[in-house]
Amino acid sequence: MRAEPTIADDDRPTRAELVELYDANGWVAYTRDPEALERGVAGSLRIVTARDRGRLVGLARVVGDGATIVYLQDVLVHPDAHRRGIGRALLEAVFAPYAAVRQHVLLTDDEPAQRAFYEALGFAEVRDVAPGSLRAFVRFA
């Protein structure tokens, strides 16, 4: 019987743990500069982690003001821990203190599995919320 991972909101992963988790998910744009990744995570509004027998297997973090808007910056689950409900648990836990905040926002890849995951958690694509009245913009450096 597989033990359930522990979800924690007071856990700060080490730089090495962050790099391993982000690399395992192919998020190399983050791991090219481990110091910036570590600073970004440290500067987050809230971080929630998942550990399986002490090993970091998931992380979710939000940024924002916590009063009017909260952005889901990252939600990652190690590939060998997928399909165990960890992503859902992380997302629910990271947003829990912000239930009354009007806007919960995220930017993610255009993959059918991503859409299905976020829609199952109550998110909708901007174009589906109010066609013709909302736009989303992003600029990458």
Write the CATH number for 125. Answer: 3.40.630.30
Q: Which residues contact 104 (CB under 8 A, 6 or more apart)?
A: 70, 72, 95, 98, 123
**What are the tokens at 23?**
């690399």
Q: Considering its fold, how many domains does the chain have in total?
A: 1
How many Å from the N-terminal Cα to the C-terminal Cα in the chain?
46
In a domain, 19, yes or no: yes
Is residue 13 within 8 Å of 56, Cβ to Cβ? yes
String of DSSP letters for 68-80: SEEEEEEEEE-GG
pLDDT per position as a tens digit, 91-124: 999 999 999 999 999 988 888 888 888 889 888 8
In a domain, 112, yes or no: yes
Place of tokens 């009063």: 67
In a domain, 22, yes or no: yes
Structural domain harbouring 66:
6-129
In a domain, 134, yes or no: no
pLDDT per position as a tens digit, 1-59: 466 789 888 789 999 999 999 999 999 999 999 999 999 999 999 999 999 999 999 99
